[in-house]
Amino acid sequence: MTNNLDAYLEDIGHYLAVGPAREEILSEIRSHILEKAEEERARSGEAALERVIAGFGPPRRVAERYLEGREIIAPAYQRHLFRYTSILFGFHFLFTLIGVIFGRSFVLFPVLFVPRMGVIEALLYLPAAFLTDLGFVALILYFVTQSKKDIKLPWPKFGLEADDIKLPRKPGALAATLAGLTFMLALTAAAVYVFTRHGTVFIAGLASSGEIKPLFTAEAGRSLSLIVIALLAAGAVSLFLKLFTRSRWIDVGSDAVSLILFGLILRRPFDGLFAVPISGQALSGIRIGLAAALLFIVLMTAIDLIKNLVMIGRGALVRRPPERGTPA
């Protein structure tokens, strides 16, 4: 019978922190079980200990009942754990993307290390990075919990809180958004892959030797390719967020990023842009066409940005309570 009790206590001990508190809790549980077993034995005989152990419940549940504020990480920090992990992983993801594009490594000891790697290595690296970030944040919260001090942890606010997330009601809209997101992710991944292989996403064709013929000069092709990849990534992020909410702030952010990136394109002179031979008359027409197309896209994006800001402002005015002394 005692062997069963020892095995039961050993199972409970697996869910308790190592240290004097663990032995104290196990000793307390042993005393309670033996006391109840003595009471049962007086009424029903030798099988009392087995019945008491069965009545105490699964080892994990027993450990939770006896912790009494001695948790490894306080339950109140559960949301902090995932909030801080998501922020840290966001930086990890951003620097990983930059590292893949520019072929660089980044070190910010002890919270960030991004080695130089390719696209496939990055896809394998990111899940491990998330687990590392989760473990690092859990370690910090462990020390905060064990300090027994009333520490008010900061609560970084996002533009979109988890409580505001609501899935789109129409299945058709959700399916269309998912399809668009899948397409944008595939397009972004393809652009990043081509860029890492050839230094540009603008390819005019293949040379007789089998090498690619870039459409633009090396410096122009590299900078314009990075802008295109950023535009595709911004579109993918926007569609991902729209899976959870239809907030107009997503469109505002997407439009603002797009305007900045298109502005960078328009600031670049078109002289000496092409790496392939083009006749003077054709080149003049291409320049005019490109400038007109870019200006049209910028104009439409600016109109959409203004429209969304007006709608947000109108909604804020409708929700604002009337001032004191004025009729509602």
User: How much of the chain is in helix, strand and coil states, percent to nearest 5?
Assistant: 70, 5, 25
Amino acid identity at 246:
R
Residues 201 and 260 in one domain: yes
- Verify that 280 and 172 share a domain, yes or no: yes
- The parts of the chain modelled with pLDDT lower than 70 are 1-2, 17-20, 42-47, 67-72, 74-75, 101, 109-111, 119, 157-169, 207-210, 315-328
pLDDT score for 328: 44
- Tokens 């609501």 belong to 166
215/213 Cα distance (integer angstroms): 6
Asked if the structure places residue 157 within a domain, the reply is no
Q: Are residues 265 and 203 in the same domain?
A: yes
For residue 300, give its domain range. Answer: 164-319
**Cis status, amide bond into 110, omega within 30 of 0:** yes
| Chain centroid to CA 4 | 46
Domain boundary at 39, 67, 95, which? Answer: 67
Could you say which of 43, 67, 91 is where a domain stops? 67
Which pLDDT value is given to residue 317?
Answer: 55
Same domain, 82 and 56: no
User: Is the same domain home to 310 and 232?
Assistant: yes
Q: Are residue 200 and residue 57 in the same domain, yes or no?
A: no
Q: pLDDT digits over 57-114, tens only? A: 888 788 777 766 566 676 677 788 888 888 888 888 888 877 776 777 877 766 677 8
> Is there a single domain that holds both residue 115 and residue 252?
no
Q: Is residue 225 within 8 Å of 202, Cβ to Cβ? A: yes
* DSSP symbol at 113: E
Q: Which residue has the tokens 């230094």?
A: 199
Q: Is residue 85 part of a domain?
A: yes
Hey, is 206 helix, strand or coil? strand
Assigned token pair, 8: 């039961």
Domains contained in the chain, number:
3
Q: What residues have CB less than 8 Å from 92, skipping those under 6 apart? A: 112, 114, 126, 129, 130, 133
**Residues 312 and 179 grouped into a single domain:** yes
Is there a single domain that holds both residue 170 and residue 313? yes
Among 224, 231, 225, smallest CA distance to 267 is for: 224
Distance, C-alpha 119 to centroid of its chain: 18
Verify that 134 and 27 share a domain, yes or no: no
State whether 180 and 288 are in the same domain. Answer: yes
Strands 203-206 and 112-114 come out as: unpaired
* CA gap 289, 283 in Å, rounded: 10
The single residue listed with the structure tokens 């990480």 is 73
Please tell me whether residues 123 and 265 are part of one structural domain.
no
Q: Domain boundary residue among 146, 179, 200?
A: 146
With CA atoms as reference, report the closest residue to 232 among 180, 277, 296: 180
User: Quick count: other Cβ atoms within 10 Å of Cβ 203?
Assistant: 14
For residue 156, is it within any domain? no
Residue 194's identity, in one-letter code, is V
Domain-located, residue 154? no
**C-beta of residue 137 within 8 angstroms of C-beta of residue 84:** yes
Query: Which residue, among 29, 24, 28, has the nearest Cα to 8 in the 3D structure?
Result: 29
pLDDT score for 16:
76
Residue 326 lies in a domain: no
Q: Strands, DSSP E only, in 45-138?
A: 106-108, 112-114
Strand partners, 274: 216
